[in-house]
Structure 1
Amino acid sequence: MRQVIHIVRKDEMDRERKYLLELDLDYFLATLHDAMSRNDVAEIEGVKHKLRDITNEIQELSV
């Protein structure tokens, strides 16, 4: 029974983590848009790197 509870809790935590990552993704996409509007190359590169990290983590949770 403990194993079932552990699996259910892990699944719930993974779903919550994925939801929070998707919120972060939306935020950083908006940030990227703003940086592109201002032609801020340094911020664009930083945000693109963060977006890659978030996307990779979402993909890992989806597997």
Structure 2
Amino acid sequence: RRVEGGAWTYRSPTPAFDAIRDAVAFYPAPMDSCTVAGERVTPQPGGFYGGWITIDLVGPYKGEPGTMGW
């Protein structure tokens, strides 16, 4: 369910994902800053995906030019 500001909740997840019930998820791009363990994340490119890219992740990432149709 979407809530204000591009965030959403998981009120009725499938049983395998019950641990995230009522958690709030959001896209990092519209925020002033988002961090993971003190590291500022880079939003996943393209504006459609909501991924959080950290130094530990290696691309290419969906959303960059040439990645349509993955």
TM (norm. structure 1) is 0.23
Greater percentage in helix: 1
| Larger strand fraction of residues | 2
The higher-RCO structure (CA 8 Å, 6+ apart) is 1
Structure number with larger C-alpha Rg: 1
TM-score (ref. length: structure 2):
0.22
